[in-house]
């Protein structure tokens, strides 16, 4: 009965969402606030209905109700109950329900905010978000119902994919899926303003930026968590392989990064109005493409769901929204004329524009490399995949150029910079870059590209530090002590200095990627118990193997005693598990991590005599990539924090200006 209640809730949610679309559109057409309000409340009701459906599916998992097809396909009696959360979105149908409940919750908050701050936009934005949710619900009800019953009930389920049995799977997939679907909210705000004829009215910009940054942050965390999962469980010693599903999350991230930067120019100068609409349309389209690839589209990936016709349904909806968005844009383009113009190539606006173009160029290159196998197979019946060398060769310089602009842009004034002013602004950043370059020339390994990349990172950090010091000193001269001056500087301009904190985290991420890409050391070794090897400063002894049998898998653990010089680092224990029912094996590396470098051991094969094959790596500076995540969250929250308005009690009015009686 509980399952049937969930099925009914899905159907009612579909009807309520359909009503929200119709009522919102008709309410605007008839100028009926009552109809608009009823549509909004219909949209709100979907959250409760989807909670009922989700609770029904969770109950089916917890009680091992294998009469539910999705439960039978994604769990088993041997599956730990803790992984019910992972199993909820492990397959196509369950992930659709997850997308729907998450999007309805975020959209509930968004619609409430839009109604208060942009009432003329609210009906249009509500209708657009309701259409997105309507699509998800229609797919579930008619094509992939997570609560559908089986005619014959199995005694046990098929079990969860072994690669999902990892702590990272509790966080990475839901965060990644949330980021992709939440892009629909800033898209709805922008399109809603455009449909209302207010696209050129910059009142929507603040709310669009806020939701753009929320979507950007969630996508960023999803990418970092996915890289961490790949690094720790896939057993190849890396964290990014330009896999199609990795790329599918990166592309909308690039577009949203461009959007949250470019929209600041619209807010400050009233420029880039058309450009920002184009970027948010691209961002939403790429987010839908990401969901298409994740649904088991034609592009092969180790991360995607099983091959499914559902992916093509997503592609069709993406085509519909893209065509509709372009039609709205063309019909309303006259309302998007900028009130400012680009006055000089040496200006902050120009730096933002150049950075935007670079972001979209990386997205285009990534898109082409991702979908190229489809075109090659269509043209020649031979599938040609594009590997890491292509992406690194083309995107590497573009990404370095973006980091360079990240250092230059904030130092440039709005409108126009003079050559003399630019030289003065760049003295300290360029000096810092020169010092880093000199250090690498003297003591570092000769890697010219890596040296230039680290010099660029140093330039950005020095520029941020110099701006912070100047601002703190300016407040200190007005009587504040340095600690208070520093904190008040953050509080007075949170978007600016929150952005600087985010930039610092990006440099941490870039430094980790550069160090591990150019200076990594790797060896593949065949070792027997008692063998000792040395790589770099690390000496490690293979002491033996422990075998463990479980109902669903066979595990082999290798024990190593590891030293760095004369310092004993402890015992490291990588392992390899074989899952006979799934006919796959998974490995988990043992990692000793420090800010300087990671020492990484991963097994690839074990023989009966105790001999085994291991891959051993020294990956410099990877720690900084994972450490950048909390800093990024902090900076984004600071940038999103509302400005503190002075209270009436703190406002001081000169005596001569006070009204009588005060």
581 and 502, same structural domain? Answer: no
Structure confidence at residue 660 (pLDDT):
39
Contact 346, 408 (CB under 8 A): no
> 48 and 143 in one domain?
yes
Within a domain: 77: yes
Say yes or no: 492 and 546 in one domain.
no
- Are 638 and 489 in the same domain? yes
Residue 153 and residue 53 share a domain: yes
DSSP string, 453-491: HHHHHHHHHHHHHHHHHHHHHHHHTTT--HHHHHHHHHH
Quick one: tokens of 15? 């009807």
HEC readout, 132-169 = HHHHHHHHHHHCCCCCCECCCCCCCCCCCCHHHCCHHH
Helix axes 388-408, 448-476, angle to 10 degrees: 30
User: What is the maximum alpha-carbon separation in the chain?
Assistant: 98
CB under 8 Å to 225, separation ≥6 — which residues? Answer: 168, 171, 172, 175, 176
Contact 454, 434 (CB under 8 A): no
Specify if 126 maps to a domain: yes
What pLDDT score was predicted for residue 656?
Answer: 40
Phi–psi pair at 547, nearest 5 degrees: -105, 135
Q: Judge if 459 and 565 occupy the same domain.
A: no
In this structure, the answer to whether residues 561 and 448 fall within a common structural domain is no
**Residue 302 neighbours by CB distance under 10 Å:** 12
* Domain coverage including residue 580: 521-620
Any domain includes 205: no
Return the closest-CA partner of residue 238 out of 617, 621, 630, 626. Answer: 617
Is the same domain home to 528 and 600? yes
Q: Which residues contact 152 (CB under 8 A, 6 or more apart)?
A: none
Report d(CA 164, CA 90) in Å as an integer.
Answer: 8
- Say yes or no: 446 and 531 in one domain: no
DSSP code string of 525-594 = EEE-TT-EEEETTEEEEEEEEEEEE-SS-EEEEEEEEEEETTEEEEEE--EEEEETTTTEEEEE-EEEE-
Any domain includes 270: no
Question: Which of the residues in the chain have pLDDT under 70?
Answer: 296-311, 381-383, 643-662
Residues 19 and 158 in one domain: yes
Determine, yes or no, domain membership for 291: no
- Domain count of the fold of the chain: 3
Integer angstrom CA distances of residue 67 from 8, 294, 308, 401: 17, 26, 22, 55
Q: Is 324 left (phi over 0), alpha (psi -120 to 50) or beta?
A: alpha
Nearest to 290 by CA among 190, 360, 367, 209: 367
617-643 b/e (C-beta count within 10 Å ≥ 16 → b):
bbbbbbbbbbebbebbbebbebbbeee
Q: 513 and 545, same structural domain?
A: no
Q: Is 319 inside a domain boundary?
A: no
> How many residues make up the chain in this entry?
662
Q: How far is 430 from 436, CA to CA, in rounded Å?
A: 10
The pLDDT assigned to 395 comes to: 94
Residue 351, domain member (yes or no): no
Strands 612-620 and 521-527: antiparallel
pLDDT tens per residue across span 17-75 = 999 999 999 999 999 999 999 999 999 999 999 999 999 999 999 999 999 999 999 98
- Supply φ then ψ for residue 529, to 5 degrees: -50, 130
577 and 444, same domain (yes or no): no
Token output for 80: 């730990």
* pLDDT value of position 652: 43
For residue 236, being part of any structural domain is answered with: no
Long-range pairs for 450-456: beta carbons < 8 A, 24 or more residues apart: 450/514, 450/515, 450/517, 450/518, 450/519, 452/400, 453/400, 453/403, 453/510, 453/514, 454/511, 454/514, 456/400, 456/403, 456/404, 456/407
Q: Collapse the DSSP code of 599 into the 3-class scheme (helix H, G, I; strand E, B; otherwise coil) and give the result.
A: strand
Cα angle 45, 53, 102; round to 5 = 65
β-pairing, 575-579 vs 567-572, is unpaired
Are 11 and 148 in contact, with CB atoms under 8 Å apart? no
């Amino acid at each position: 009965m509980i399952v049937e209640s969930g099925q009914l809730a899905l159907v009612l949610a579909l009807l309520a969402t359909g009503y929200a679309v119709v009522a919102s559109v008709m309410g605007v057409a008839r100028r009926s606030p009552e109809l608009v309000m009823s549509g909004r409340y219909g949209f709100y009701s979907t959250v409760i209905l989807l909670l009922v459906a989700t609770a029904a599916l969770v109950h089916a998992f917890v009680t091992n109700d294998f009469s539910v097809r999705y439960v039978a396909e994604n769990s088993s009696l041997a599956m730990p109950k803790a992984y019910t959360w992972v199993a909820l979105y492990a397959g196509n149908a369950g992930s659709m329900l997850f997308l729907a409940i998450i999007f309805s919750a975020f959209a509930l908050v968004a619609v409430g905010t839009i109604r208060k701050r942009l009432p003329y936009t609210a009906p249009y934005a509500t209708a657009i978000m309701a259409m997105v949710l309507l699509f998800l619900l229609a797919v579930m009800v008619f094509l992939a119902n997570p609560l559908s019953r089986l005619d014959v009930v199995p005694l046990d389920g098929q079990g969860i994919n072994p690669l999902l049995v990892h702590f990272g799977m509790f966080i990475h997939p839901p965060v990644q899926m949330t980021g992709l679907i939440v892009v629909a909210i800033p898209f709805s705000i922008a399109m809603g303003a455009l449909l209302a004829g207010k696209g050129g009215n910059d009142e929507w910009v603040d709310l669009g930026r806020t939701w753009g940054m929320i979507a950007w942050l969630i996508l960023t965390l999803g990418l970092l968590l996915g890289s961490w999962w790949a690094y720790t469980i896939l057993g190849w010693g890396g964290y990014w392989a330009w896999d199609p599903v990795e790329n599918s999350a990166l592309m909308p991230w690039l577009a949203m990064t461009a959007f949250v930067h470019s929209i600041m120019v619209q807010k400050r100068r009233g420029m880039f109005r058309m450009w920002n609409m184009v970027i948010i349309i691209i961002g939403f389209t790429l987010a839908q493409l990401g969901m298409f690839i994740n649904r088991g589209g034609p592009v092969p990936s180790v991360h995607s769901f099983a091959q499914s016709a559902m992916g093509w349904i997503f592609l069709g909806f993406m085509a519909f929204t893209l065509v509709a968005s372009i039609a709205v844009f063309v019909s309303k383009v006259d309302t998007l004329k900028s009130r400012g113009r680009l006055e000089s190539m040496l200006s902050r606006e120009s730096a933002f524009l150049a950075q935007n173009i670079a972001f979209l160029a990386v997205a285009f290159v990534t898109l082409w490399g991702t979908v190229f196998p489809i075109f090659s197979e269509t043209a020649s019946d031979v599938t040609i995949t594009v590997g890491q060398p292509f992406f690194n060769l083309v995107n590497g310089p573009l990404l370095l150029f973006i980091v360079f602009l990240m250092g230059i842009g904030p130092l440039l004034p709005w409108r126009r910079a003079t050559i003399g002013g630019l030289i003065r602004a760049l003295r300290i950043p360029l000096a810092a870059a020169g010092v880093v370059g000199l250090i690498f020339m003297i003591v570092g390994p000769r890697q010219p590209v890596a040296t230039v990349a680290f010099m660029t990172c140093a330039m950005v950090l020095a520029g941020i530090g110099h701006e912070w010091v100047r601002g703190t000193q300016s407040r200190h001269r007005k009587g504040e002590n340095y600690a208070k001056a520093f904190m008040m500087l953050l509080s007075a301009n949170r978007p600016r200095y929150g952005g600087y904190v985010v930039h610092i985290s990006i440099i941490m991420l870039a430094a980790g990627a550069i160090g591990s890409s150019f200076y990594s050391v790797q060896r593949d070794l065949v070792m027997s118990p008692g063998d000792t090897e040395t790589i770099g400063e690390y000496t490690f002894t293979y002491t033996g193997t422990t075998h463990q049998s479980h109902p669903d898998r066979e595990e082999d653990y290798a024990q190593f005693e590891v030293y760095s010089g004369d310092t004993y680092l402890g015992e490291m224990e990588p392992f390899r598990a074989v899952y006979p029912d799934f006919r796959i094996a998974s490995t988990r590396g043992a990692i000793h991590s420090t800010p300087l470098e990671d020492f990484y051991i991963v097994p690839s094969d074990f023989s009966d005599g105790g001999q085994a094959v291991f891959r051993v790596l020294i990956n410099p500076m990877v720690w900084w990539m994972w450490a950048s995540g909390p800093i990024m969250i902090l900076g984004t929250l600071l940038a999103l924090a509302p400005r503190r308005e002075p209270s009436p009690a703190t406002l001081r009015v000169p005596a001569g200006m006070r009204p009588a009686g005060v």
